[in-house]
Chain A
Amino acid sequence: DAGVTQSPTHLIKTRGQQVTLRCSPKSGHDTVSWYQQALGQGPQFIFQYYEEEERQRGNFPDRFSGHQFPNYSSELNVNALLLGDSALYLCASSSELGAVVETQYFGPGTRLLVL
């Protein structure tokens, strides 16, 4: 059973460019959340997708957007990249069925460097 997968593993961009990161959830999971982890910090919640719609959003600007596809995979898009967007981007998947609280399972992350 494949866990959460993310691509690419590493990415280098320059300021002002746009980037798309991809995530495939764990088998059987229908919910995808994205987190940003800056160096030396804990992950920060960006947003969550369920049934192809953004269900919750953290304190991130509109430059950060996403999409969920019918097969539950997801993309994170960041426009007009800033140096401060350099971070590890983590995708987590979960399933709503029958849980008191959903447990999130994380992928290995995509490390983005903005120059």
Chain B
Amino acid sequence: AQSVTQLGSHVSVSEGALVLLRCNYSSSVPPYLFWYVQYPNQGLQLLLKYTSAATLVKGINGFEAEFKKSETSFHLTKPSAHMSDAAEYFCAVSDGGSQGNLIFGKGTKLSVKP
């Protein structure tokens, strides 16, 4: 069965600092992995996805994630945080089919201090 663990329910960084949000997955098949962002009182917006084409995946808003099979990880990074990055971030793994149904982690809330 597929599952996702997000380490740290709350991460706080200063504006301009590196953002690192951690995600580890468990999957019985080669995984398809996603990062979504959720701003307050809104739905989920896709940041990036891994579908086995390349291990380093670049997304929107300057975010990127690296797939590491040996570590079963798919951590999300951004070199320099902006105030507008404050939101909740969800890592998700496909349930094993191509239909894309997702199993989400519990989320990490990112705060950005001025």
Please report A residues at the B interface, Cβ cutoff 8 Å.
4, 31, 33, 35, 40-45, 48, 50, 55-56, 58, 90, 92, 94, 96, 99-109
Contacts and interface: CB of A to CB of B under 8 A. Distances in A.
A99 B90 contact: no
B43 A42 contact: no
30 contacts: A41-B106, A42-B90, A42-B106, A43-B90, A45-B95, A48-B99, A50-B99, A56-B95, A56-B99, A58-B101, A90-B43, A90-B44, A94-B100, A96-B98, A96-B99, A99-B100, A100-B32, A100-B51, A100-B98, A101-B32, A101-B49, A101-B100, A102-B98, A102-B99, A102-B100, A104-B101, A106-B44, A108-B42, A108-B43, A109-B42
Contacts of A99: 98, 100
A11 to B, nearest CB: 15
Contacts of B107: 40-42
B3 to A, nearest CB: 11
Instruction: Name the residue among A31, A41, A45, A106 with the largest chain B CB count within 10 angstroms.
Output: A106
Interface residues of B, number: 26
Given A4-B43, A106-B43, 4 more contacts: A43-B102, A92-B44, A102-B98, A106-B36
B94 interface: yes
A47 B77 CA distance: 31
B84 to A, nearest CB: 18
A45 B96 CA distance: 13
